[in-house]
Structure 1
């Protein structure tokens, strides 16, 4: 069987120097029927390796569950990598960042007060060990020394940017070895002295992450890694977007020049991202460095392959650079073609407040709970209580995470948004039925706020006095596409408050389409029961990518949950993506 080791200056494959030319491709952001296509396009660009994170929270949405079906079938993904003649790098965390909800850590971990987060705390370590043994049991038979594609496994992720608990980091490395991983281990940190020192381990190869100034970044890495190969584990060739911001891009010529400098220095590389894909469902994360910024659904990342898997100008520029240092095949992928266009009417509206019990289950609380105290993975909830004061009043909440629509006797009063640090609102009267529709817009995936609770945090006060006697509806979003199973909706279902709509449309099987959301408000969309993700008129993103394998030749069902105002109950499928304006 092949042997992969770390030499004095190079990676060694069967004793011969081997430069890793890798591209990041996250299996959980790409429809499984597209995996082979994306892997082949990486090979045609000149890459020899595919890198992927592993999202713990996706595989384990509830305690005791470890799901590997469909888009989470990591063994199938690794088999496809090997069958294409490519190698693989696996980065199982437990923390991955990745602009992914909670950085990949399951929220249920932190329901018990005092549980550690990325530190040497027994309850956290016990959960991490169980997870690593589960996921690495899938990876173990795919290691290169067993005839598989896996060359490297990473320990944690950019830990030096978070903490300096060396005992914790060593424990994670020991767990990985204890799970039967024999290939070399690596860490990754930004090329900053303090981060490389805090995030590294003796006997584990240090790598770095950057997208510019390659020569100086590699010198800093060499100061902390005196021997062994130099590797940029994340060569940032683009960036991610936040709702309300611009669509980030990196100039093609600039990115190609940096890649050239990196390869000219003899370093190995992992292009992050080669193909970003999509944050399907409610999997996108957020950042909070004083202002909360939720990440959009698209993870296009301005990568060599766009969100739909089509080669971009950056693909061909990178291919030309790689050809100076390695053999590149003559074959190239075909160019993108316009997607089929059509327009269909949305109808049969079902309003949440007409029959709330069809949407989830109620529970009673003396004070408002956080969402984490409700059913597992509640992302949307209605909080309600009765007010009995006189005249107008002021509602004050401890903290809103992340958005609360306020209604009084069914009439909208306003919106409280975490992004704007809003937590108080004037009520036209202090009597009647108060309802708050509270939305989790994505958990922070980087920094000190990882693991925080969602929902209403702290007391709810009316004119300074506590509000008690709450009922809370935990909305089961999996029920939304099934709301029509019990029969047609009642008349008037399109009134105020969260409303579900649906339409039926025909399609060409296996042909990707783009759903235009620009005339809608804020919400979530499903096609044939598969959650495409969030939309928001705030942009920058105004289309949702619909993978062709989801579609059927005859009757397809689109369901839209509108949380704000649907100005035009029409669904438009357009020729291509609209990811927003660029920075001047």
Structure 2
């Protein structure tokens, strides 16, 4: 088979309109890939699109992961076995409301690092990553008997830079592996298209939008005319919903209005529905939005108000868009979708509890340094970092403040919490009453997520922890111990639940749940404060304030028989039981 891009898309010399849906394999339990892709086929789609996050597949420099939710080849095999064509976006930067836009945070250990540029260290890291990743993807090309049609060079680069040499270099590296067409995607504005597209006219330019198809495609057509080319029109990201942030209302988009805009797009070109199913930001992978002077972390749920819910149920939007596809594409083969099954487990009591301060020395070996170090200098990418030092009493009170820290910091003096600072509060003075000759100061810092889009991609705040130091009046405190808490399965196994629980401190809670068979469920987080949850060692996400007060726990993470659930609650709230729900909990 062959895929050609002329004035239209052609497969084996037959014109084809691509109807694609975005499915991020890493935001779904692998056991749910099949049902999701089958529902994409049932919609009437003929293609699936996915980003490929670098920081998932190379979480530590030179250490690669392609298992579990990172098993991209199994996902692609499943897609092509169902007859779906594939669009891949393995560009180093993906945005996607994903931590650091998919870039690995270990890049930031280099003080000179400049991402999305010709920085030698950045390009060398890309080459090393691609040398491992891309050979796994090459066999899926249409030219090799697979279903892969196109590969993205960079993502919305026109909204960041204008470096054509960088884009050409990236395209050149990809072309050494792939012989299917390459493409870029940008906003439908002249400046963005000129900045983000390649000087090579063989690389297809596409646009991203959620409405005004005529205006967006007119900008793309004008771009083509300036270059003297005639290419098919494609919306590489049709935003059928939107993401959500902590403490803010869920953003919804009317199904009828969305379907009407999809119809306008299909009348003029091809479409990729972003998202078809959003899924969940498992682990610490949520991104962060630029909110002016502060940052606005995104929530664990990536429901996106998409055609399928976070947990896979077809929505009114699914039905409305399926109807449009039936009416606009006579060759589309639509079917009824498959529905997932969700249950509520019985309420479960907490069996064990222990304070972080009681077990931290067993969980990790501290790094000692005369001044405070950010996470990335310690080889840490995500999670929490505890800074510890000893204060000598020279007066009854000491006034301290943190210089350049982030994102959320809890202060403890001899295991008693004295303050919590978040974003703009960091840098405010904290008064400590020193009643003993020597007191232990602990600062628990949470990385809430790195910016995934915009100018702040290269801001100092992308480096997490305490970057400057801690001032006592006008003196920087020294002699710090750094405890890195990424809460890996290995760290969790080191928790000794036989040790002391200290009231009002961050604590680990363990719950044993016996199941006759694994099922999908929602964990009700309304009685919890702030923290993270693990099911059999799998990090299912953060919980905090609304709008979403559940954590989706797919059957994939459970097992028949006994299951271990660990809750890390940072707010000093005593957890006595866990409750579950058959329905989502959204405020």
TM-score normalised by the chain length of structure 1: 0.95
Confirm or deny: 8 A CA contact 1:342 1:572 kept in the other structure.
Answer: yes
**Residue number in structure 2 paired with 1:489:** 498
- In 2, Cα distance between the equivalents of 1:198 and 1:475? 40
**Residue number in structure 2 paired with 1:239:** 242
- In 2, Cα distance between the equivalents of 1:38 and 1:124? 35
**Residue number in structure 2 paired with 1:553:** 560
2:461 matches 1:463: no
What is the correspondence of 1:72-151 to structure 2 with a 5 Å cutoff? 72-151=70-149
Higher mean alpha-carbon deviation, 291-300 vs 426-435, is at 426-435
**Residue number in structure 2 paired with 1:279:** 281
**Residue number in structure 1 paired with 2:485:** 475
Confirm or deny: 8 A CA contact 1:525 1:533 kept in the other structure.
Answer: yes
Given the alignment, which residue of 183, 196, 201 partners 1:199? Answer: 196
Cα distance, 1:357 vs structure 2: 1.0
**Residue number in structure 2 paired with 1:362:** 366
What are structure 1's unaligned runs of at least 5 residues?
A: none
Cα distance, 1:193 vs structure 2: 1.5
Partner SS for 2:327: coil
Given the alignment, which residue of 306, 314, 317 partners 2:317? Answer: 314
Partner SS for 1:240: coil
Distance 1:378 1:442, change over 3 A: closer
2:302 matches 1:299: yes
**Residue number in structure 2 paired with 1:333:** 337
Cα distance, 1:507 vs structure 2: 3.2
Confirm or deny: 8 A CA contact 2:509 2:575 kept in the other structure.
Answer: no
Q: Deviations over 1:87-117 (max 9, x none)?
A: 0000001100101111111111221221221
2:453 matches 1:446: yes
- In 1, Cα distance between the equivalents of 2:64 and 2:486? 21
- In 1, Cα distance between the equivalents of 2:166 and 2:456? 19
Partner SS for 1:221: helix
- In 2, Cα distance between the equivalents of 1:69 and 1:566? 35
Partner SS for 1:427: strand
Tell me how large the CA RMSD over aligned residues is. Answer: 1.6
Higher mean alpha-carbon deviation, 169-178 vs 220-229, is at 220-229
Confirm or deny: 8 A CA contact 2:514 2:560 kept in the other structure.
Answer: yes
Confirm or deny: 8 A CA contact 2:23 2:278 kept in the other structure.
Answer: yes
Partner SS for 2:347: strand
- In 2, Cα distance between the equivalents of 1:471 and 1:529? 27
What are structure 2's unaligned runs of at least 5 residues?
A: none
2:532 matches 1:504: no
**Residue number in structure 1 paired with 2:348:** 344
Given the alignment, which residue of 559, 562, 572 partners 1:565? Answer: 572
Cα distance, 1:217 vs structure 2: 1.2
Confirm or deny: 8 A CA contact 1:400 1:416 kept in the other structure.
Answer: no
- In 2, Cα distance between the equivalents of 1:334 and 1:28? 21
What is the correspondence of 1:136-285 to structure 2 with a 5 Å cutoff? 136-178=134-176, 180-201=177-198, 202-203=200-201, 204-226=203-225, 227-265=230-268, 267-285=269-287
Q: Deviations over 1:450-502 (max 9, x none)?
A: 25311011121011221111112122412453245x5x423x41523221001
Distance 1:369 1:432, change over 3 A: same
- In 1, Cα distance between the equivalents of 2:220 and 2:334? 35
Cα distance, 1:259 vs structure 2: 0.3
- In 2, Cα distance between the equivalents of 1:41 and 1:378? 34
- In 1, Cα distance between the equivalents of 2:579 and 2:494? 22
- In 2, Cα distance between the equivalents of 1:68 and 1:142? 16
TM-score normalised by the chain length of structure 2: 0.94
- In 2, Cα distance between the equivalents of 1:316 and 1:508? 35
Confirm or deny: 8 A CA contact 1:305 1:312 kept in the other structure.
Answer: yes
**Residue number in structure 2 paired with 1:529:** 537
Partner SS for 2:132: helix
